Amino acid sequence: MMNEEIKVQEVNEGLPRIGSPAPQFESVTTHGTIQLSDYKGSWVILFSHPADFTPVCTTEFMAFQEIYPQLRELNTELLGLSIDSVHSHIAWVRNVEEKFGVKIEFPVIADLNKDVAMKYGMIMPGESDTSTSRAVFVIDPNQVVRAIIYYPLSAGRNMDEILRLIESLQTSDEHGVATPANWRKGEKVIVPPAATQEMAEERMKEEGIECVDWYFCKKELK
């Protein structure tokens, strides 16, 4: 039991937290050697997949490529990763283009030494020590981790939610608001609750804001 607890601690020791600086790295990719710092000033979606030449991962890579132009319009870059060699990555993305007609245009990190996977806690206890989970890390232009999503190996990711998440974070940053459940760009946003009784009373009368009560108010963004 003690050995299992130590192993779990070692696997997760580098797990970042939302709001903390993104762990820096330099890695070989299908587009050459990159550093995370190369992307400062842009949003980054760093995602891991269990292995090349696997069916669920293949569907995910094609789906990520489908939304890549939309992400670029949102000043957001994609970085894929698995514990495979760069030659395996190249062979796989070439195979995806040949068999499915989809050209993968974003870099795929070859993390054979598990450096990035360990820093980001991408390997789950109890899983293969060479298969990264389906993790998604959203990193903002200041290289701060803003969101983390984990999926089990059996479930492919939802690209609509990843796009929605980026739009939500960018909207919140720009306008100082929050977004409700199932929010889509263009819909009403949540106004931060009043901090004092006086502000609460004023909020209920404020023009352009719809309040159910002092703590629950929405507005349209112009």
Residues tagged active-site: 57
Sign of CA dihedral 6, 12, 14, 19: negative
pLDDT tens column, 166-204: 999 999 999 999 999 999 999 999 999 888 888 888 888
Give the pLDDT score at 11. Answer: 42
**Which residue do the tokens 């389906």 mark?**
134
- pTM of the entire predicted model: 0.90
| Dihedrals phi, psi of 130, to nearest 5 degrees | -120, 5
The band of 130, judged by pLDDT with boundaries at 50, 70 and 90, is: low
Tell me if 139 sits within 8 A of 21, measured CB to CB.
Answer: no
Question: Angle between the 55-73 and 159-175 helix axes, to the nearest 10 degrees?
Answer: 30
Query: Which residues, at least 6 apart from 76, have a Cβ–Cβ distance to it below 8 Å?
Result: 42, 43, 44, 45, 166
Is 135 in a helix, a strand, or coil?
strand
Give the pLDDT score at 13. Answer: 53
